[in-house]
Chains A and B, each alone.
Chain A
Amino acid sequence: MEKTVMNSEEKTGNSAQPDSSRDRILQNVCRQLSGVEVPPLPEEESRRLPQPADVNLLAAEFQSKAEGVSVVFFDDVHSATKGLQRVAVSNGADLPIAIDNVELFEGWGDREGLLACDAGLTTAQIGIAESGTMALIGDVEKHRLVSLVPPIHVALLKRENIVGTMSEALSMLHQDGLPSSLITFITGPSRTADIELQLVLGVHGPRELRVVLI
């Protein structure tokens, strides 16, 4: 963890209680494990798709997998937001500052606004072709509420940011030091099957997920 620089207040030692329970638990864990043979930890593994990492192939695979879980693709952000009135946006660098006939507002700090808008607009930092998944990184962009609270989530994803596998995505998320404070993987719209296993979309999160590949 030597890679990180931290404020003094973020250092260790904010344990909330006297350490007796911690010590008793750890002591018992040690005691019970004494004499137990430790089997080896399997080597770290980097998994790739068999086919070469061609941008167009990966994008096509991403799209077909995402469509399989009810994601709808649009050619550009204008068609993806057509007919919408109020759209919350995150602070993503690649997001448009204006869209014709649509009122955009900063969504992340405005909960009332979020509850009343038609859609949330964010970018996604990574796409994962094998499952049609997007990774949204909290420290890059405040996606947490904008991608979750409104009934429609519109996400922009750069084709060049699509990788083959979850394994590749995880190593990217970890490569420059510690992972972001929040990473959200999204594969399709919110869903439930808790009533007789019938699929219903949009139970708590967005009912629709619209993606624009750029």
Chain B
Amino acid sequence: MGIHGLNSNQFAEMAKAALADEVQKGAIGKATDLIRDRRGEAVEQLDDWDDLRERARAIKAHTLAKLDHYLMHFVSNAEKRGVVVHWAEDADQACKIIADLIDEVCGDPNAPADSDDLLARPIVKAKSMVTEEIGLNHLLEGRGLRPVETDLGEWIQQLAGEPPSHIIVPAIHKTQQQIAELFAEQVGSDASASAEELTAIARRILRKEFADAAVGISGVNFAIAETGSFLVLENEGNIRLTTSLPQTHIAVMGIEKLLPRLSDLDVFLRLLPRSGTGQQLTTYQSIITGLTSKVHGELNGGGEGPAAVHVVMVDHGRSDILSDDLRRSSLQCIRCGACLNVCPVYKLIGGHAYGSVYPGPIGAVLTPQIAGVEEARPLPFASSLCGACKDVCPVKIDLPDLLLDLRKEAQEKGGSKIEKLGFGGWAWMMNGPWRYGLSIKLSRMIYPLGKRLSPFKKWGEGRELPIPAKKSFREQWKKRS
């Protein structure tokens, strides 16, 4: 099963190139440090942070273990409120369902003449990682449609012809100067425009797109089984516009996004914004339960909101990883991006080097599971296993353990002899806290050597990244308490 644009087996070369890009390294380093600090402050405001994480983990773990039940519950409740639900087994099917829905609204692409007008109309999109995963824009463009990303960061990336490089801050690797130059080239603005001016330009251009769009596509942050509702959260307001102005709204979600009860949102709304951006709460959360216009007894003309709401439930390899307890836990992810911001590897190489729409620790865990380990062999190894990701994860996913498990699979399914030897020992070493502690100390000793010694030289080239911390977080923490 393919993740769109997947290129993870070129990791070594891409990481090397990224390491040489000083401007990008500067931008990412500065931004991730800042979000990491803001997150730290936001977390400190609460005295029950770890209880919250445990509660969120437990809710997700329960839901995933009974996913069939909650899926049925959600879908039947959503349908009762007028939502049309679609099921996609893989990326191609998901794209086709969405494209066909758009054709229905905008007219048949094979019909000649006057339908041209409709086809030139934009499809407005709010940021959604699953639509990146399935390569939706690519397919829509191939059909002559015009998807327009409306989240500012995503729009910047679309103008640049690049995928997002971070799951929360898509253009995190770009400086303001680079963005100003990009706008100058693409929309003819001043090449020295400020962030404020650039934002105003985006607002003006995208307002027009919103006004013209017949279809809006969004993701889903949480879907509520007991009510058939779903929640989307944001700061900009583009999701609200996307889900309010066009006559048709299509929400695309992975099948793992469920929560049992509306009240469960409380804990997740305390965790997600703090973990993602260090905010107590993002500016907007919209809970959508079916059609507004139906409740008001009138259709779009005099009412509010779309005349049709569709939900596309995407499996794309998710159901296959439900059986194993450890692997299943990776589906707890709420896409907060915190693990990216603290990852010493991500900080140095940025998102694109991972060759996957999901970068960083969670990307290194999800990508091989969705696409197959053969397609992303280097990713489980693209980590120093320092454990910083696990420490910040709001739903307590054991990312280092998952990486080790995937390393083992990568090693079993081929790979060179030396890798087998090395990673076999590595896996043993990581399996148990004292061995892990030993390995960190060892790595501090071996690190300077490893770069120079010839058998390790090639291996080290793409990986000279994470200089082992003088003291690991764990060691420092121990000392403190």
Give A residues with C-beta under 8 Å from B.
1, 4, 6, 10-17, 19, 21-22, 24-26, 28-30, 32-33, 35-42, 44-47, 65, 69, 108-109, 111, 115, 131, 133, 138-139, 142, 144-145, 148-149, 165-167, 170-171, 173-174, 178-198, 200, 202-206
Contact = CB atoms under 8 A, between A and B. Distances in A.
A194 B261 contact: no
Given A41-B62, A178-B289, A191-B235, A196 B175 contact: yes
Given A26-B68, A174-B263, A190-B236, A179 B229 contact: yes
Contacts of B35: 197
A39 B281 contact: no
A25 B305 contact: no
Contacts of A167: 263, 266
The 3 residue pairs across chains A and B that have the minimum distance between CB atoms? A205-B237, A194-B153, A204-B237
B78 to A, nearest CB: 9
18 contacts: A1-B80, A11-B80, A12-B79, A25-B315, A26-B71, A26-B72, A33-B322, A33-B323, A36-B323, A39-B58, A144-B305, A181-B81, A181-B292, A181-B294, A183-B287, A188-B283, A190-B283, A204-B237
B309 to A, nearest CB: 9
Contact of B170 (A142, A183, A194, A202): A194
B290 A185 contact: no
A167 to B, nearest CB: 4
Contacts of A24: 89
Contacts of B285: 184-185
Interface residues of B, number: 104
A107 B202 CA distance: 24
Contacts of A47: 266
B115 interface: no
A20 B147 CA distance: 29
Nearest to B235: A191
Contact of A181 (B84, B198, B289): B289
A44 B27 CA distance: 43
A14 B290 CA distance: 13
Given A14-B82, A25-B87, A171-B263, A198 B195 contact: yes
A193 B276 CA distance: 12
Contact of B152 (A15, A65, A185, A203): A203
A33 B80 contact: no
Interface stretch (B296-304, B375-383, B408-416, B432-440): B296-304
Interface stretch (B138-146, B238-246, B362-370, B465-473): B238-246
A32 B65 contact: no
Nearest to A41: B62
B342 interface: no
Contacts of A29: 67-68, 71, 255, 319, 322
Interface of B: 27, 30-31, 34-35, 55, 58-59, 61-63, 65-68, 71-72, 76-77, 79-82, 84-89, 93, 97, 150-153, 156, 169-171, 174-176, 179, 195-196, 198-199, 202-203, 206-207, 211, 227, 229, 235-238, 240-241, 244-245, 255, 260-263, 265-267, 269-270, 277, 280-292, 294-296, 301-305, 310, 313, 315, 319-323, 325, 328
A155 to B, nearest CB: 13
A202 to B, nearest CB: 7
A165 B266 contact: yes
Contacts of B292: 138-139, 144, 181-182
A174 B264 CA distance: 12
B55 A174 contact: no
A87 to B, nearest CB: 18
A73 to B, nearest CB: 17
A40 B263 CA distance: 16
Given A10-B294, A41-B260, A203-B199, A190 B227 contact: no
A6 B291 CA distance: 13
A168 to B, nearest CB: 9
Contacts of B320: 28, 32
Contacts of A187: 280-284
Given A36-B325, A185-B284, 12 more contacts: A29-B71, A32-B321, A108-B303, A139-B292, A165-B266, A181-B81, A181-B295, A189-B283, A190-B237, A200-B196, A200-B199, A203-B238
Nearest to A108: B304
B426 to A, nearest CB: 29
Given A42-B58, A170-B263, A17 B277 contact: no
Given A32-B320, A33-B323, A196 B85 contact: no
A131 B233 CA distance: 15
A194 B260 contact: no
Nearest to B239: A204
B319 A28 contact: yes
Contacts of B169: 193-194, 197
Nearest to B34: A197
A195 B245 CA distance: 26
B152 to A, nearest CB: 4
Contact of A170 (B61, B262, B328): B262
A36 B283 contact: no
Given A29-B71, A145-B304, A194-B152, A181 B291 contact: yes
B289 A179 contact: yes
A51 to B, nearest CB: 15
A46 B211 CA distance: 41
Given A174-B262, A195-B152, A6 B80 contact: yes
